Structure 1
Amino acid sequence: MIGVILAAGMGTRLMPLTKDIPKALLEINGMTLLERMIRNCIGADISRFIVVVGYNRDRVIDLCPEIAEKYDIEIKTVVNEKYDVTNTSVSTYLASKEIEENPEDFILVNGDNVVDPKIIERLASTKHTGMIIDNFKQLNEESFKLIVKNKTLNDEKSIANGEIEAIGKQLDISSSSGEFIGVSKVISDDIADFNRILEEIIDDDCQNYYDFTYKELSKIKTIDFVLTNGLKWTEIDDHNDWENAQKLVGELEN
């Protein structure tokens, strides 16, 4: 299994913290977000990584060999040359298209996430392509929500299956099934379809998020919606998120 980490974004809402470095290299307790996420993936028996870089790429490219040596893993960097005019759909495609040449399951995570390591472990153990869905957090207008129809629960109510009816921030909160946290998995058998749909999304608008790929994929493939059931996480989009991330790391490390 491969870990794909998206670390190409500019992080403009975190300025001046990200003036000279991408978000993934921000440090909490002396460790970058990138290394912490890689360490979480290693805990789920992942030892090969693709890191997609863009903004201030050289800082990430220079650090990756140090992390690889420290943990005895493989890290390859892929450059999104158009990071400033595209979105996560393009960064994801650059990695997933390369993996399609020799198909293998991969975990896909946003480089600005801090998560309980158990979240990665749960996702890695699923049989199907899957998405981590927060079913506890109170939703708001910024939450990347989804609505799952024909939902069924199994595995002690920690995994749901069904078809994604809608996904995005604009959805009605009361109708939503939860929030997609930016951590997902694509199994090898689904990569070709995943990439085909991703291409269509990029052709429609290169500023699209890769998240929308799962809506169409759920119509033809089984998607596991792995529920957080209270496990904690946070994305880091702004300074409030940054403060929350520091608190969360303190909780997790204690």
Structure 2
Amino acid sequence: MIGVILAAGMGTRLMPLTKEIPKALLKINETTLLERMIKNCIAADISKFIVIVGYNKDKVIDLCPEIAEKYDIEIECIENVKYDVTNTSVSTYLASKVIEENPEDFILVNGDNVVDPQIIINLAECEHTGMIIDNFKTLNEESFKLIIDNEEMNEKNTIANGQIQAIGKGLDIPSSSGEFIGVSKVVADDIADFNKILDRLIGEDPQNYYDFAYEDLSKIKTIDFVMTNGLKWTEIDDHTDWENAQKLVEELEN
């Protein structure tokens, strides 16, 4: 299994923290967000990584060999040269097209996430393509919500065989099943279809998020929707998120 970490974005809402470095290199307790996420993936027995770089790429590229040597893992950096005019669909496609050449399951994570390591472990154990859904958090207008048509839990606290009826921030909150947290898995057998959908999304708008690909994929493939069930996480978009991330790390490490 491969870990794909998206770390190309500019992080403009975190300025001046990101004036010289991308978000993935911000440190909490002397550990970068990138290394922290890699450690989480290593706990799920992942030892090969692809990191998508863009903004201040050289600083990420220079750090990756140090992390690879420290944990005895493989890290390949792939550049999104149009990072400033595209979005996560393009960054994801760059990695998944490479993986399609020798198909292998991969975990896909946003480089600005801080998560409980058990979230990655639970996802890695999924038999099918899977998405981590927060079913505890109080949703708001900014939550990346989704509506799943089958919400019957199995013994592993996952929803399998359900289709995504809608996904995005603008959904009706009471109708939503939860929030997609930006942590997902694509199994080898689904990569070709996933890439076809991504290619179409990019053609429609290079600013599309990869998240939307799962809506169409769920109509032709089985997707496991893995609930957080209270496991904690945060994305880091702005300074409030940054403060929350630091508190969460303290909580997880203590």
Please report the TM-score for the alignment, with normalisation by the length of structure 2: 0.99
Q: 8 Å contact 1:151–1:163 — kept in the other structure? A: no
Q: 8 Å contact 1:166–1:215 — kept in the other structure? A: yes
Question: Which residue in 1 is equivalent to 2:184?
Answer: 184
Letter matched to residue 244 of structure 1: N
Write the distance in 2 (CA, Å) between the matches of 1:150 and 1:26: 39
Write the distance in 1 (CA, Å) between the matches of 2:166 and 2:13: 27
Question: Which residue in 1 is equivalent to 2:105?
Answer: 105
Q: Deviations over 1:122-178 (max 9, x none)?
A: 00001000000000000001100000013331124x101200000000111111000
Q: 8 Å contact 2:150–2:159 — kept in the other structure? A: no
Task: Work out whether 1:159 is the aligned partner of 2:165.
Answer: no
**1:1-254 alignment runs, 5 A limit:** 1-156=1-156, 158-161=157-160, 162-254=162-254
Letter matched to residue 159 of structure 1: T
How far has the Cα of 1:59 moved from its partner?
A: 0.3
Q: Which secondary structure does the structure 2 equivalent of 1:62 belong to?
A: helix
Write the distance in 1 (CA, Å) between the matches of 2:188 and 2:40: 21
Q: 8 Å contact 1:129–1:190 — kept in the other structure? A: yes
Letter matched to residue 128 of structure 2: H
Write the distance in 2 (CA, Å) between the matches of 1:153 and 1:205: 35
Write the distance in 1 (CA, Å) between the matches of 2:174 and 2:121: 29
Letter matched to residue 226 of structure 2: V
Q: 8 Å contact 2:104–2:187 — kept in the other structure? A: yes
Letter matched to residue 65 of structure 2: P
Write the distance in 2 (CA, Å) between the matches of 1:99 and 1:152: 32
Aligned Cα root-mean-square deviation (Å) = 0.5
Letter matched to residue 217 of structure 1: L
Q: Deviations over 1:62-107 (max 9, x none)?
A: 0000000000000000000000000000000000000000000000
Task: Could you list the structure 1 runs, at least 4 aligned residues long, displaced by more than 2 angstroms after superposition.
Answer: none
Q: 8 Å contact 1:146–1:178 — kept in the other structure? A: yes
Letter matched to residue 145 of structure 2: K
How many residues get paired? 253
Write the distance in 1 (CA, Å) between the matches of 2:98 and 2:155: 33
Q: Taking every aligned residue pair, what percent have the same amino acid on both sides? A: 79
Please report the TM-score for the alignment, with normalisation by the length of structure 1: 0.99
Q: Which secondary structure does the structure 2 equivalent of 1:58 belong to?
A: helix
Unaligned runs of 5+ in 2: none
Write the distance in 2 (CA, Å) between the matches of 1:155 and 1:188: 25
Unaligned runs of 5+ in 1: none
Q: Which secondary structure does the structure 2 equivalent of 1:37 belong to?
A: helix
Letter matched to residue 194 of structure 2: F
Q: Which secondary structure does the structure 1 equivalent of 2:70 belong to?
A: helix
